[in-house]
Amino acid sequence: MRIEPEILETADDVGRAAASIVADGIARANAEGRTFILGCPSGRSAQTTYAHLAREVTERDLDLSRVVIALMDEYVVPDGESFRPVHRDQPHSCIGFGERDIVAPLNRAARTGRHIPDENLWFPHADEPEEYDTRLQSAGGIDIFLLASGSSDGHVALNPVDAPAWTTTRVVALEETTRRDNLSTFPTFRGIDDVPQFGVTVGIRTIRELSKSVIMLALGEQKQEAVRRLGSADSYDPSWPATVLSECREPYFFIDRAAGALLETAS
């Protein structure tokens, strides 16, 4: 199914629109007395969404005590015959990002007693990655998964080019294009050699089958090609993994005007 992007004026407008949908979902889950699972990327694309979601929490007095933040990936490094996550204090740690940039601001916005519990920050483990899909499925699936596309190769989470549609959570070797994209995401990297070569990531099937709804976010002129590829896809294309968007249930596609420039030129 081809997903038409909704072009909003600024990155802030994109964040406001996405956060409103997430806040509506949390409010419904609270009214039903159930857990709400939000799938979250690290990096720049969802930052305005997280900021506006914190404002929604305060303005609506949302209870976050049953909210789960499910991270989509983490960088890992070889450790003997296995892998271990990078230390969460490192700026590029996705777990650290989840603690500092997602959970902490949301909890500051919530009233005492309505915070996200520490144990509700979920993330995949490199030693048993398949258990992440089992955990998500057992919990009823991801209510809303926030997604972003790599600028140069269309990676989604850390799924590389040519990732099969059936993939679940697993450890992957990162392509150089993905690693170079992350030089911009995390300016603390001094060069390509600083960027880890492996990651544990949710799979294409994880996103497609375990999400009840997804919101693809694309901001800035560096995402123009990503927007063009995503907007023209009517099914999953392994050469641009973020096209999984086209096969997800209840998809939203929000972009700012800078990211949509190629679409406006074509029209």
Could you report the per-residue pLDDT of 109-166, keeping only the tens digit for each? 999 999 999 999 999 999 999 999 999 999 999 999 999 999 999 999 999 999 999 9
Distances (CA, A) of 76 to 131, 159, 170, 174: 17, 14, 11, 10
- The domain of 181 spans 6-261
57-79 pLDDT per residue, tens? 999 999 999 999 999 999 999 99
Q: Is residue 67 part of a domain?
A: yes
Which pTM was predicted?
0.96
- Considering Cα of 176, then 178, then 184, then 186, what sign does the dihedral take? negative
pLDDT of 266 strictly over 60:
no
Determine how many CB atoms are found less than 10 A away from the CB of residue 148: 24
Q: Is residue 32 part of a domain?
A: yes
pLDDT band at 177 (very low <50, low <70, confident <90, very high): confident
CATH for 88: 3.40.50.1360
Beta bridge partners of 217: 148, 254
9-18, 57-66, 112-121, 178-187: range with lowest mean pLDDT: 178-187
Q: Is residue 266 part of a domain?
A: no
Q: DSSP characters for 61-88?
A: T---TTEEEEE-EEEEEEETTEEEEPPT
Nearest to 204 by CA among 250, 251, 161: 161
Report how far residue 209's alpha carbon sits from residue 122's, in angstroms, rounded to the nearest whole number. 18
Q: Is residue 25 part of a domain?
A: yes
pLDDT band at 183 (very low <50, low <70, confident <90, very high): confident
Q: Is residue 188 part of a domain?
A: yes
Domain count, the chain: 1
According to DSSP H, which parts of 100-223 are helical? 104-109, 130-138, 176-185, 204-210
What proportion of the chain, given as a percentage, has pLDDT over 70? 99
Q: Is residue 267 part of a domain?
A: no
Q: Is residue 144 part of a domain?
A: yes
Q: Is residue 76 part of a domain?
A: yes
Q: What is the mean pLDDT of the chain?
A: 95
Kindly give the pairing relationship between strand 198-201 and strand 73-79.
antiparallel
Tokens of 207: 């996103």
Nearest to 148 by CA among 216, 49, 240: 216
25-50 pLDDT per residue, tens? 999 999 999 999 999 999 899 999 99
